[in-house]
Amino acid sequence: MKRRDFIKRSTLSALTAWAGSSILSACHTEEDMIGEPNWIVEGSFDRALTIPAVSNGGASLNAQFSVGELLKGRSSTTLSYANGLLGPTIKANAGETVNVSLQNSLSEETNIHWHGLILPENMDGHPKDVASAGGSLNYSLPIIQRAGTYWYHPHPHGLTAKQVFMGLAGMFIVNDPEEAALNLPSGEFEVPIILQDKHFEGNNLEYSPNDDEIMTGYLGEQILVNGQHAPFISVASTWYRLRILNGSTARVYNLGLTGGKQMIIIGSDGGLLASPETVSSILLGPGERIDVLIDFNGLEVGKEIYLVSNKFSEYNVQGRQSFSLLKFKVDRTQNSNFTLPSTLSNLDPLNPSLSVKTRIIDIAQTIGGEGGHGGMGRHSINGKIFEMDRVDETVSAGTTEIWEFDNSAGDEIHPMHIHGVQFQVLERIGGRNKVIASEKGWKDTILLMPGEKVKLIMTFPDYTGVFVFHCHNLEHEDDGMMLNYKII
């Protein structure tokens, strides 16, 4: 993040927010407002949360222009796979093959990447495999991995951020017998939560990042949950399971609950942890998921608890404000016979001695200052910008490697994602200096704060071909912060 220019939207939104509160004080000089966050506009939390439709046994998706009530009482133009915003939650069992058809009713190319799924090259949604406007694609997805909360979204190079921002995304849930045996809260007690920040001009979504916003990421003022601003959900005083996806293009959330409630993390990107981790806050970067249990037992009817994002940084443009996302309203008491298991799954740590190669991947540099973004340069990986046909790294199927993403010299936040593989986190050096609770399982996306370096270990699958790895700050990705790697 370069504190160079005024971020065009922050003045207006900051003033709007300040007008209604008493935060405006003499200490906010114009100098302070350089790089101010876009102050979040909270809503009234009086609309019931929408749960996306569930699609079992495959799906047919139509990427289309649509209209949805994102803000209460106002209708906005969006993109959607269904009607309104987002797409259905696709559910599958490990071992089956899921068929999904995609109709492209947009006026530009699109495709779908199945984020977190291990798939053959031609099914992965590499940016080279797209359907042009009016075209279609058929995906046949063999599910060869464990239960987990995965997701899907478009991946056409240079258009990914906009299409996701405008509403194209959905959850993909895999179930398996190991997880089913735990009898976790299900049905209405298992709630998908897709978090996304949006920027509106009038009633409509507006995606138009300027140079500064390509550096920081495009940050919105309204936080939507499942496509709705400031909703509430009525709950019983019992156990709930929330599968939380950060589907924002760039915003990091520091999730927590009000009322002294803790979250019990049971899973991350690639499914269950070995054992539950109780936390009061968790940083969730774009693309990451957490699977949490919340114990509402003992709460009285009428009690209200909020899912919030707490301030996490003085320096980063997006970490300086706390805000609420979703309200839980206890409306009935209920006894539950669920007991939290002390062991969740069998999670074999990959032994570093199996690694045949360590790759150091520099993500801290911007390159080509003259050409890019008002002299700030373009985002790069190992000094390179994405090229569709260039293979940047070559690995062997079935082998284990250590990849070190290095942001030690960086001053931006980069959530790094690797297609086609799940990894484990061995170590974080610098910054937070530790592997956090949600990183103690299988992962496909890892958050690097400024000054951090992480060591990841992974075994590549037997699917050969070209896959990408990239920053999941989607403004960075579209800027070229993505490389190809080939499995041979």
Q: Which residues bind ligand C2O (CB under 6 A)?
A: 113, 115, 153, 155, 287, 417, 419, 468, 470, 472
Classify 60 as helix, strand or coil: strand
Least distance (Å) between residue 369 CB and ligand C2O: 26
Residue 364 or 402 with smaller CB distance to Cu ion: 364
Residue 162 or 229 with smaller CB distance to ligand C2O: 162
Indicate which of Cu ion, ligand C2O, none lies near residue 471 (CB less than 5 to 8 Å, by partner kind).
Cu ion
- Only one of the segments 3-11, 23-31, 83-91, 406-414 lies at the binding site for Cu ion (rule: CB under 5 A); that segment is 406-414
Least distance (Å) between residue 300 CB and Cu ion: 43
Classify 438 as helix, strand or coil: helix
Q: Do 112 and 154 touch, CB atoms closer than 8 A? A: yes
Q: How many residues bind Cu ion (CB under 5 A)?
A: 6
Residue 241 or 417 with smaller CB distance to ligand C2O: 417
Distances (CA, A) of 138 to 15, 430, 442: 48, 44, 28
Least distance (Å) between residue 354 CB and ligand C2O: 26
Indicate which of ligand C2O, Cu ion, none lies near residue 473 (CB less than 5 to 8 Å, by partner kind).
Cu ion
Closest CA to 377 of 483, 249, 480, 252: 480
Indicate which of Cu ion, ligand C2O, none lies near residue 153 (CB less than 5 to 8 Å, by partner kind).
ligand C2O
Cα–chain-centroid distance for residue 462? 26
Provide the pairing of β-strand 97-104 with 59-68: parallel
Residue 245 or 255 with smaller CB distance to ligand C2O: 245
Residues 434-473 that bind Cu ion (CB under 5 A): 471, 473
Least distance (Å) between residue 39 CB and ligand C2O: 28
Classify 329 as helix, strand or coil: strand
Residue 115 or 455 with smaller CB distance to Cu ion: 115
Cα–chain-centroid distance for residue 413? 14
Q: Which DSSP symbol is given to 353?
A: G
Classify 89 as helix, strand or coil: strand
Residue 123 or 471 with smaller CB distance to Cu ion: 471
Residue labelled with tokens 């050096």:
429
Classify 404 as helix, strand or coil: strand
Residue 198 or 289 with smaller CB distance to ligand C2O: 289
Indicate which of ligand C2O, Cu ion, none lies near residue 309 (CB less than 5 to 8 Å, by partner kind).
none
Least distance (Å) between residue 35 CB and ligand C2O: 27
Least distance (Å) between residue 417 CB and ligand C2O: 5
Least distance (Å) between residue 194 CB and ligand C2O: 13
Residue 286 or 372 with smaller CB distance to ligand C2O: 286
Indicate which of Cu ion, ligand C2O, none lies near residue 270 (CB less than 5 to 8 Å, by partner kind).
none
Q: Which one-letter amino acid corresponds to residue 408?
A: S
Greatest extent of the chain over all pairs of C-alpha atoms, in Å: 64
Indicate which of Cu ion, ligand C2O, none lies near residue 235 (CB less than 5 to 8 Å, by partner kind).
none
Closest CA to 376 of 69, 32, 35, 18: 35
Indicate which of Cu ion, ligand C2O, none lies near residue 414 (CB less than 5 to 8 Å, by partner kind).
Cu ion
Classify 375 as helix, strand or coil: helix
Least distance (Å) between residue 4 CB and ligand C2O: 29
- CA atoms in the 13 A half-sphere facing the CB of 244: 34
Least distance (Å) between residue 87 CB and Cu ion: 16
Indicate which of Cu ion, ligand C2O, none lies near residue 440 (CB less than 5 to 8 Å, by partner kind).
none
Residue 336 or 408 with smaller CB distance to Cu ion: 408
Closest CA to 33 of 63, 69, 1, 7: 7
Q: From the CA atom positions of the chain, what is the Rg in Å?
A: 21
Residue 268 or 473 with smaller CB distance to Cu ion: 473
Distances (CA, A) of 466 to 33, 68, 119, 393, 394: 44, 37, 11, 10, 9
Count the Cβ atoms, other than its own, within 10 Å of residue 97: 11
Least distance (Å) between residue 116 CB and ligand C2O: 8
Which of 71, 476, 479, 484 binds Cu ion (CB under 5 A)? It is 476
Residues 69-128 that bind Cu ion (CB under 5 A): 115
Indicate which of ligand C2O, Cu ion, none lies near residue 474 (CB less than 5 to 8 Å, by partner kind).
none
Residue 121: phi and psi, rounded to 5, are -50, -45
Report the distance separating Cα 126 and Cα 135, nearest Å: 17
Residue 243 or 470 with smaller CB distance to ligand C2O: 470
- Only one of the segments 2-10, 55-63, 312-320, 418-426 lies at the binding site for Cu ion (rule: CB under 5 A); that segment is 418-426
Least distance (Å) between residue 470 CB and ligand C2O: 6
Position 414 contacts Cu ion (CB under 5 A): yes
Q: Do 72 and 230 touch, CB atoms closer than 8 A? A: yes
Q: Per 3-state DSSP, what percentage of the chain is helix, strand, and coil (rounded to 5)?
A: 10, 40, 50
Q: State whether the Cα torsion 313-317-322-327 is positive or negative.
A: negative
Q: Which DSSP symbol is given to 131?
A: B
Residues that bind Cu ion (CB under 5 A): 115, 414, 419, 471, 473, 476
